[in-house]
């Protein structure tokens, strides 16, 4: 997970790259990569919470008066989850998964999976990282990846097997902070199975916007919510991959994480769509806990409807999808309409038909002259795409009485997801 990357987007919201780049090898799926990159060791456990800027930006304390995520289980498919960190004690249900798919799930060989779990459901005890949904519980699944010992490799489940097991569990949310360039029909099949079981799935879109910018899988599969990373100003990180499969944005810059599997210290300035994915999953947990009778479709629809954006409802951006997650806007509205329990809010992208979504908006609601233009007039980079002087709508929340708004950058382009087929 070594490497450097310029910071971009969402600095007051989230700015910086999280974690070192980790490669994961999955039996039939080729190389899976954990979506975190760029390390700057420094944050001691004692002050790691002061680095979690997005908790204040999202008004976490106010949200916790309404919901903490209690009663919601989140399946974390990753490098394993260490249940013994001060922040995760009592939060990890390591014995919930069948033995065949839980082999060493509570042993994290990289620190990445534990970081994601803490971002979701950490209690903050002992000065550890504070999760956005501290009342939620984590069900860990360790999947095949680089770094697994040869002995464990034979017993470690494939991504497909882990998804299938999570689908059959009572976890409502499946967090997948990784990606691959290779389509696996078996994985796509179990993704659809998980959807049929009512699971809400989130996956990282990737950290290679500066090079190949290919949003891989599982983010590009039907029924998976692809998550982009933004900073505290609502600006997309210049590493965050953009295009047809971005559905939502979440804080993913300057987010702390465990430096490595020794769990001795946290690192600063973590940037990555991995972290953004975990925070999106935690946001869903908060909403589902407050509305336990809702379906995955309704939870996701309210996340989309209340997302922070500078463009019209129903239109999407190549950089932040339908906007930046703002669970507070759902929790504070007791009369919010979640819509149909059975209708997929991403039906257009998933190839099953348009349901209240504008397929081809005629023009973006707001664009910035700072972003370079491509041959077709579309912005080719998220970096520098936010104008701080613009009248952009609030991203997550308006901070303080003066309403210092966090804004969203990136032009609005509704692109049909030609590769995503149901």
pLDDT exceeds 50 at position 355: no
What is the pTM assigned to this prediction? Answer: 0.79
User: What is the bridge-based pairing of β-strands 200-204 and 173-176?
Assistant: parallel
Q: Which of 36, 67, 78, 158 is the catalytic position? A: 78
Backbone angles phi, psi at 397, to 5 degrees: -150, 165
63 contacts 143 by C-beta, under 8 angstroms: no
* Candidate list 5, 145, 274, 368, residue with the active-site label: 274
pLDDT of residue 36: 61
Q: Are 227 and 218 in contact (CB under 8 A)?
A: no
Split at pLDDT 50, 70, 90, the class of 61 is: very high
Q: How far apart are CA 342 and CA 404, in angstroms?
A: 38
Q: Is the pLDDT of residue 216 over 80?
A: yes
Provide the pLDDT for residue 151. 77
Annotation says 78 is catalytic: yes
Q: How far apart are CA 11 and CA 54, in angstroms?
A: 9
Residue in the structure block whose two tokens are 């070594």: 2
Can 95 be counted among the known catalytic residues? Answer: no
**Residue 207 — pLDDT band, cuts 50, 70, 90?**
very high
Identify whether the C-beta of residue 141 lies closer than 8 Å to the C-beta of residue 158. no
Predicted confidence (pLDDT) per residue in 268-309, tens digit:
889 999 999 999 999 999 999 999 999 999 999 999 999 999
Share of the chain above pLDDT 90, in %: 59
Going by their DSSP bridges, the two strands 40-41 and 73-78 should be labelled as: unpaired
Catalytic residue among 37, 108, 112, 385: 112
Under CATH, to which class is 22-331 assigned?
A: alpha beta
**Residue ranges of domains in the chain:** 22-331
- Taking only the tens place, the pLDDT of each residue in 10-34 is 222 222 223 323 322 232 233 456 6
Q: What is the mean pLDDT of the chain?
A: 76
**Alpha helices in 306-370, H assignment, sequence order:** 327-331
Highest mean pLDDT among 29-33, 71-75, 409-413, 414-418: 71-75
Q: What are phi and psi of 256, to 5 degrees?
A: -70, 165
């Amino acid at each position: 997970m070594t490497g450097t990357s310029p910071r971009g987007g969402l600095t007051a919201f989230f700015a910086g790259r999280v974690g070192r780049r980790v490669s994961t090898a999955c039996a039939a799926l080729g190389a899976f990569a954990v979506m975190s990159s760029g390390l700057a060791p420094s944050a001691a456990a004692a002050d790691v919470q002061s680095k979690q800027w997005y908790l204040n930006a999202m008004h976490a304390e106010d949200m916790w008066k309404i919901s903490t995520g209690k009663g919601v289980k989140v399946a974390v498919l990753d490098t394993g989850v260490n249940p013994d960190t001060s922040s995760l004690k009592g939060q990890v249900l390591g014995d919930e998964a069948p033995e065949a798919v839980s082999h060493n799930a509570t042993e994290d060989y990289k620190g990445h999976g534990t970081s994601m779990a803490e971002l979701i459901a950490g209690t903050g005890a002992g000065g550890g990282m504070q999760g956005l949904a501290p009342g939620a519980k984590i069900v860990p699944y360790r999947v095949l990846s680089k770094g697994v010992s040869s002995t464990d490799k034979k017993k470690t489940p494939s991504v497909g097997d882990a998804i299938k097991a999570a689908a059959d569990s009572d976890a409502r949310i499946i967090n997948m902070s990784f990606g691959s360039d290779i389509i696996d029909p078996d994985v796509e099949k179990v993704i659809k199975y998980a959807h049929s079981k009512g699971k809400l799935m989130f996956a990282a879109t990737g950290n290679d916007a500066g090079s190949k910018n290919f949003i891989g899988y599982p983010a590009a599969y039907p029924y998976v919510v692809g998550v982009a990373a933004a900073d505290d100003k609502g600006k997309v990180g210049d590493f965050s991959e953009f295009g047809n499969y971005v559905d939502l944005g979440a804080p993913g810059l300057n987010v702390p994480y465990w430096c490595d599997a020794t769990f001795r210290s946290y690192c600063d300035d973590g940037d990555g769509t991995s972290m953004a994915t975990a925070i999106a999953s935690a946001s869903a947990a908060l909403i589902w806990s407050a509305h336990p009778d809702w379906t995955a479709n309704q939870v996701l629809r309210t996340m989309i409807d209340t997302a922070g954006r500078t463009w019209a409802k129903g239109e999407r951006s190549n950089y932040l999808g339908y906007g930046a997650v703002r669970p507070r806007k759902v929790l504070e509205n007791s009369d919010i309409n979640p819509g149909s329990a059975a209708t997929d809010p991403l039906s257009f992208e998933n190839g099953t038909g348009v349901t209240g979504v504008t397929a081809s908006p005629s023009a973006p609601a707001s664009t910035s002259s700072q972003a370079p233009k491509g041959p077709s007039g579309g912005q080719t980079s998220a970096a520098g795409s936010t104008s701080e002087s613009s009248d952009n709508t609030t991203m997550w929340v308006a901070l303080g009485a003066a309403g210092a708004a966090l804004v969203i950058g990136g032009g609005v382009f509704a692109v049909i997801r030609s590769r995503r087929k149901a």
